[in-house]
């Protein structure tokens, strides 16, 4: 394989036991310092499991280019029981982000990671987290948000799968708009300083393209480096091989620009 070895990590945070997977850089040298990319899974009710990594946009090419890649399973994920899976209810983007940040600290404490070169990426709910997290913390210095979500209120009226939202937020958007607004990245856009690339399908019905347009326009207004690419005739999961390759090339170039994998830098 072109990527490095993988290990299972465990950490405790706020009364929860959290697990994640860490993919080493290819040609790992313990005497060098590396950037780290956090890859957040979709869902939020899903989990990253031990399986052969895909060679499309994901951990394998990032590892091959010289990045550590952390795949956390924060609260909201499957695999740690019902209480753990339900822990993001009415807390979307907050408790799970705290678990992710605790995982980043765990990696930084035990592996040669440069804390000034940490990025975040993901698709679907992972795309939401890639938009939301930089509005809440300065840990992430670059982001690539695939099929993301920036405003839960407008999203409710745009998507074709809105039935899933009420159980997670505890009420409809019309009954309790405040809980939706609290987890909307667009409402904290002034706090976001992170260069962000956004990619989305033209006909995505699960995380519609206007969600990425909103975030892109907001970041532009704030003077934050950003780019938005809308792929024609694509839905939530891309099918055109040329588009899949283009997303990969753009994402790798974005991270290489803002989080260069300088594997020649020795660390103390």
- The alpha carbons of the chain give a radius of gyration, in whole angstroms, of 18
> Which pair of tokens denotes residue 225?
């480096």
Question: Given this model, what pLDDT does residue 55 score?
Answer: 59
Range of the domain at 163: 6-258
Residue 117 lies in a domain: yes
Residue 90 lies in a domain: yes
Q: Is 57 part of a structural domain of the chain?
A: yes
- Over the chain (268 residues), what is each successive 10-residue block's mean pLDDT? 92 95 96 96 92 74 95 94 94 97 98 97 97 98 98 96 93 96 98 98 97 98 98 96 95 96 56
In this prediction, residue 267 carries a pLDDT of: 45
What pLDDT is stored for residue 121 in this prediction?
A: 97
- The model's pTM is 0.95
CATH number of residue 84's parent domain: 3.40.50.1820
Spatial distance between the Cα atoms of 39 and 48, rounded to a whole number of angstroms:
10
Measuring CA to CA, which residue among 28, 121, 15, 41 is closest to residue 68?
28
Q: How many domains does the chain have?
A: 1
Residue 135 domain flag: yes
Residue 264, in any domain of the structure = no
pLDDT computed for residue 52 by the predictor: 75
Q: Is residue 47 part of a domain?
A: yes
In angstroms, the CA 21 to CA 7 distance is 6
Q: Is residue 268 part of a domain?
A: no
User: SS3 helix, strand, coil % of the chain, rounded to 5?
Assistant: 35, 20, 40
Is residue 265 in some structural domain?
no
């Amino acid at each position: 394989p072109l990527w490095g070895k993988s290990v299972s990590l465990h950490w405790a945070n706020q009364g929860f036991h959290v697990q994640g997977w860490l993919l080493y850089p290819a040609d790992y040298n313990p005497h060098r310092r590396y950037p780290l990319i956090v890859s957040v899974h979709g869902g939020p009710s899903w989990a990253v499991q031990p399986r052969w990594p895909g060679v499309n946009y994901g951990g394998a090419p990032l590892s091959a280019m010289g990045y550590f890649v952390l795949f956390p399973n924060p609260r909201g994920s499957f695999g740690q029981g019902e209480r753990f899976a339900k822990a993001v209810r009415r807390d979307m983007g907050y408790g799970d982000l705290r678990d992710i940040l605790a995982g980043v600290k765990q990696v930084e404490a035990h592996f040669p990671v440069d804390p000034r070169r940490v990025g975040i990426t993901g698709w679907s709910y992972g795309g939401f987290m890639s938009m939301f997290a930089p509005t809440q913390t300065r840990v992430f210095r670059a982001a690539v948000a695939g099929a993301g979500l920036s405003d839960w209120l407008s999203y409710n009226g745009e998507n074709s799968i809105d039935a899933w939202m009420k159980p997670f937020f505890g009420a409809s958007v019309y009954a309790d708009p405040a809980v939706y607004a609290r987890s909307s990245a667009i409402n904290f856009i002034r706090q976001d300083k992170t260069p962000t690339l956004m990619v989305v399908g033209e006909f995505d019905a699960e995380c519609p393209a206007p969600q990425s347009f909103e975030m892109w326009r907001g970041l532009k207004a704030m003077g934050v480096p950003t780019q938005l690419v809308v792929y024609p005739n694509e839905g939530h999961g891309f099918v055109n091989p040329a588009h899949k390759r283009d997303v990969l090339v753009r994402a790798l170039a974005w991270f290489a620009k803002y989080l260069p994998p300088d594997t020649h830098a020795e660390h103390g």
